[in-house]
Structure 1
Amino acid sequence: MHARMVANLGERRKCRRFRCCLSGIEPHAPSVACQAACGLQRLALATGTPYSTGRALSCPLSLAAPRPLTDRRAMKKAGHFGQAVVLSQQAIGVQEASGVAHLGDQRFLVVDDENGIFSCTLDQEPTMLEAGQGLRDLEGVCLSPDGAHAYVLSERDGSLWRFSRAGEGLAEPERVGRLPRLSKKKNQGWEGIAITPAGLWSDHDELVAVHQTKPRCVAVLDLITLEPRVTATLPKKARKLLDDLNDVTVDPHHGHLLVLSGKAGVIGELALQDDELRLVRCYRIDHCRADVPEGLCMDADRRLWLVTDGSGWLREYALSP
């Protein structure tokens, strides 16, 4: 038994090194042992390897039925739990996906922490956008409320970049500024961003950002000066259920924040009241060490979209209390 566990761990580490081949080099498919190490949920979800031979884009996989992914025992300890259901899943061909923004008409902007910004659809290969070339360690992406601009965050130095949308692509970026530095570690800073529309919390649009590790917090900043108006740490119940913070999006219906912790496989729904965060509920999502949820966004129809780093899945979720 011990020997098999060690073998599976080795396969999992090997799989973690497997990356998207955007340069045309054929990838090697993960082994059966690696899939087993990633868990029975992954095997039930995928009817084979999500990587194609010779193509960066894998064939889409369909699900027979939505699947509840709630760990009720873990959530019940905190008194807050909901249900997350996978409605659809596609392999979009960006293996190191770290953030996603919905453009409408089944089109998405996806950032890759090593390779820049991609335009993705559900039925075509991803297109690398020239406007994002030269930018590295990209971890967050979101759209302005009017959809005219895209904002991209670099975790390495906390730089925020603004792009005007030009047709199906992006114009050359403008550097807005740098988010305040809260940690000395270069790769454990601001990880995800969202924008709240005017009238939700204030009379103008505001930037929301999550800090990955200590301090695990949510900041609300002026979108022009990047001066923080609020910096709120996670409430105690949320700290117990969430690990590193990877991304954030805003529910347009009631203004709650949805914060992703990919390592824990949990989405936390938080309300900001009197400059403090309150945990509303949490949702358990599918994850494994070789395929970590990294980015999420919510579209105008309140559909939640999530991308993973490892296999490059784009998953559509429905959340319910």
Structure 2
Amino acid sequence: MQRFEFAKVTVAALWDEPTGSWQYVLADRASNKAAIIDPVLDFDMNAGATSTGNADKLLEHVERQGLAVEWILDTHPHADHFSAAPYLAEKLKAARAIGTKVIEVQKLWAEIYCLDRLPTDGSQWDRLFADGEQFQLGETEVRILFTPGHTLASIAYVTDEVAFVHDTLMMPDSGTSRADFPGGNPKELYASIQQILALPEETALFVGHDYAPEGREAQCCASVMEHRRSNKHVGNNRSEEDFVALRNKRDATLPLPQLMLAALQVNIRAGHLPEPESCGRSFLKIPLNYFASRAADEG
């Protein structure tokens, strides 16, 4: 667990190596009120088994620090890991939230999976945040920034010191995230990144993933200024045209995430597993031949 301290808030960051995912605990220093952001529910694909190793580490940190967790927040329905929001919400008696555009993602993926009975109104969450909406975490004001492009529903959580920008930006040496999932759009991604880079230059940006390229240690945070100067995809005022061409070329070489077809049907349910069938077991569906096969070339 890495820890970052700012004037008004602290941030604890936990990396899940199998999925390269960062998950966070944001805490208001004055009140010890906290939010957990993008928690990972472990999933063994070979066994079809879920477990709570990551989530339990977050719980241990919360207890150790004496934090009062009010929110379990997801930035978007993830394609590479299951959300542990239901498990943590039950343990901590906290509310679960995501952006209001999740409704559009539910509709899109419910059609792909033929989930005729799935409610596609966002009712699986306790609250849906709109662009520009704000809420208080103790004495810290958190603002919602709608940041589509990676997905239809992506949002960032922004305070006057930090921002959780999910899969829109990677670390500067890795650039940005893909925009080729259903509902993704590289032009929208570019516009979202420009909104983020317009934040004050000292704002610490916490990313959703890091894959530790070239053997370096996993990292999760860089300032707006660092991204403006050295992000390999958008730094030095790269134009929209150049970015879209770069993103499209790279995305065409990327295989779909290993857990995407499993994760999306869980995460459009707010992290809940599918309802058990008559035998008492839950099952995941795989839409055969809906997606074209891709070479496993990282490009």
Same fold (TM over 0.5): no
TM-score, normalised by the number of residues in structure 2? 0.28
Choose between structure 1 and 2: higher helix proportion. 2
Which has more strand, going by share of residues? 1
